[in-house]
Chains A and B, each alone.
Chain A
Amino acid sequence: MIKRVLVANRGEIACRILRACREAGIEGVAVFAGNDSGSLFTELADISIELKGEALADTYLNQEQIITIALENGCDSIHPGFGFLSERADFANAVIEAGLIWIGPSAEAITNMGDKMTARITMKAAGVPVIPGEEVEGGLAEILEVAPSVGFPLLLKATAGGGGKGMRAVHNPDNLEMEAKAAMREALNAFGDDRVYVERLLTGSRHIEIQILADSHGRTIHLGERECSVQRRHQKVFEESPSIALDAQLREEMGEAACEAARAVDYVGAGTVEFLVTPKGEFFFLEMNTRIQVEHPVTEMVTGVDIVREQLRIAAGEPMSCGELQMRGHAIEVRLYAEDPANNFLPCIGELAVFIPPEGPGVRLDTGVRQGDSVTPDYDPMLAKLIVWAPSRAEALQRMSRALDEFVVLGCTTNIRFLRELCDHPDVVDGWTTTDMIERLWPDGWTPDMPSMILDAGLLIASACETSGLGRQNSTKLVTAGESPSPFNTISRRFP
């Protein structure tokens, strides 16, 4: 039995887990850094404890402090969410050694899958197809040596990587050394490990992943796929299930390969096996994410399985509760980022002076913020996820368009309009989504397609409100002097 969970995370995913705990009648304990004081997730917890320290290493990444808080507050388990400590085998071990339940797979499974190179080797041995490439142990010199045999374009990937950090595409051999150095540096900063390996860059392919669940009673199942091809900076922005690229046979083959991958590391819990699928329908293992994933809601919507609740059950040693799965309809998720898509998707900061999410049938918002919150440069710029479900893909796209039109965020630049235009783009409507599609569709960067009528209306509203002193009913907090808003729109430069 699990009675009190410490959620070692923040933002949107902490909210998601704390809500699941409430629904399960389990108490949730939040830990938060000083600059997260008053954040939404701290309100959803039964107990909220402030973490001492300022740097990330002293707060959300401070294993010792988090475990101490769990013990002092009578927690019996820790849920790591995603990012932060979620794929740290040493943390999983420390949690277990402290006598707590780790809501995740075993430390061995995390180690085997978390190190991308070891994972490649394990998957090859299990008979799961991997992307042509070279494992590299010898640093920069070896990267330069093996690259020509892998061929260009190629992808440099951090061995300890994830989230697009330490990952660089190299199209031109002349840039190899520069990009390799950048990838190694980014990897070192993000993961404390600068090892980088080389894979063929499979252009025009799709990123499709399989959600799996495995319990400690010997059952391993897959929950179908998520199509996550639409990416910028190697981070996903638009995810859906099912994928139109899979027929029933390919779905079964990939699902079985994913379960095989999980069994190869004695996996227990929720996990995701990522594949690249080429236009010819070949699929290659990319990596396994040994944690709950950002885009898990689309699977929840089409399968009806509450993945976080299943994680809690499985961690408590119970069998998973879902029986035979029946996929139903179509779900799409978009990630709301504080970023400027018209300026190469650079992150933005600001203040959510107005934040009015969409409502209505088939709409789900998993948010970590609400009106009045500030977006600071301290954390990842993902603010929320908007998920829709509808009986068909076409209707799901229509519903997403409608929902994005309703979504009002003022005071901080976001990618809402970019996401909205994606929903109408013929390539998205036709399902021709590939990992390189954003570069393909907008080689010179995206700019909003704004009718002059809209700009005229905007100018009218701004000038009328300014001169009359009316129409400021939505203003929330007073503005702190000295802080300036995100400069991306005011400086007319691009930072590629």
Chain B
Amino acid sequence: MEFKTASGRVEINPMRDGNMFHHENIILDIGQELWITIDSRRFKVHATKVRDDWWIHVLGHTLRLEMIEPGASGMDDEGELTAPMPGKILEVLVEEGQRVSSGDSLMIMEAMKMEHRIVASHDGIVDKIHYSAGEQVNQGAELLSLSDE
């Protein structure tokens, strides 16, 4: 089974023995509650699935692991810049065809009463701008696309 984590994709295939699962030196016991054993110490953990993501609480840490469906393409959403929140475009700072460097400000949008800068994730050329100043955007809307050189 494959998951997307903050540090990239990870594959994991735990060993199963009834309600007990093993991986490395960790044992998970799934019953009414979830308990893990690490180095013979037992800890209660919490997990829940919201849409495609597993949310896990382990020893004061919270993880969000996105499940990758088997056979899904390995491509990430490189090259498109999406709205992090629903909000309003305040200013478009670039033009189509313009060359930009990683870190350049591309747009300013307002969401949750604060201004946010949308910046280039990599060097490239602005391919297409999908929204202009004053327009409302939904979360996840593709704001503009960047092509590599």
Contacts and interface: CB of A to CB of B under 8 A. Distances in A.
Interface of A: 165, 182, 185-186, 189-190, 233, 342, 346-347, 349-351, 353-354, 356, 377, 380-381, 404-405, 408-411, 413-414, 416-417, 420, 447-448, 450, 453-468, 470-475, 479, 483-485, 487-496
B28 interface: yes
Contacts of B114: 165, 186, 233, 347
Interface in B91-149: 103, 108, 110-119, 121, 139-140
Given A450-B61, A471-B34, 20 more contacts: A190-B113, A346-B116, A354-B46, A354-B57, A405-B59, A405-B60, A448-B61, A460-B12, A461-B45, A463-B1, A466-B49, A467-B1, A468-B16, A468-B19, A471-B47, A472-B48, A485-B51, A487-B139, A490-B4, A495-B118
Given A353-B48, A463-B3, A479-B50, A185 B90 contact: yes
Instruction: Say whether chain B's binding surface is mostly helix, strand, loop, or mixed.
Output: strand
Contacts of B111: 347, 377
A40 B121 CA distance: 40
Given A349-B85, A463-B3, A491 B49 contact: no
A426 to B, nearest CB: 19
A455 B6 CA distance: 10
Given A350-B50, A467-B1, A454 B14 contact: no
Most buried by B among A189, A457, A458, A460: A458
B139 A463 contact: no
B62 A186 contact: no
A496 B19 contact: no
Interface of B: 1, 3-7, 10, 12-14, 16, 19, 21-24, 26, 28, 30, 32-34, 36, 38, 45-51, 53-67, 76-77, 81-82, 84-87, 90, 103, 108, 110-119, 121, 139-140
B54 A466 contact: yes
A474 B49 CA distance: 9
Contacts of A485: 50-51, 53
Most buried by A among B57, B116, B117: B57
A136 B47 CA distance: 54
Contact of A420 (B60, B65, B81): B60
Contacts of A380: 112-113
A462 B56 contact: yes
27 contacts: A185-B115, A342-B6, A347-B112, A353-B55, A377-B111, A377-B139, A380-B113, A381-B112, A408-B57, A410-B48, A410-B57, A450-B61, A456-B23, A457-B56, A460-B26, A460-B36, A461-B36, A463-B12, A463-B23, A466-B67, A471-B34, A473-B33, A474-B48, A483-B51, A487-B139, A490-B66, A495-B116
Contacts of A467: 1, 16
A460 B38 CA distance: 12
B87 A377 contact: yes
A483 B103 CA distance: 29
Contact of A182 (B10, B59, B65, B108): B108
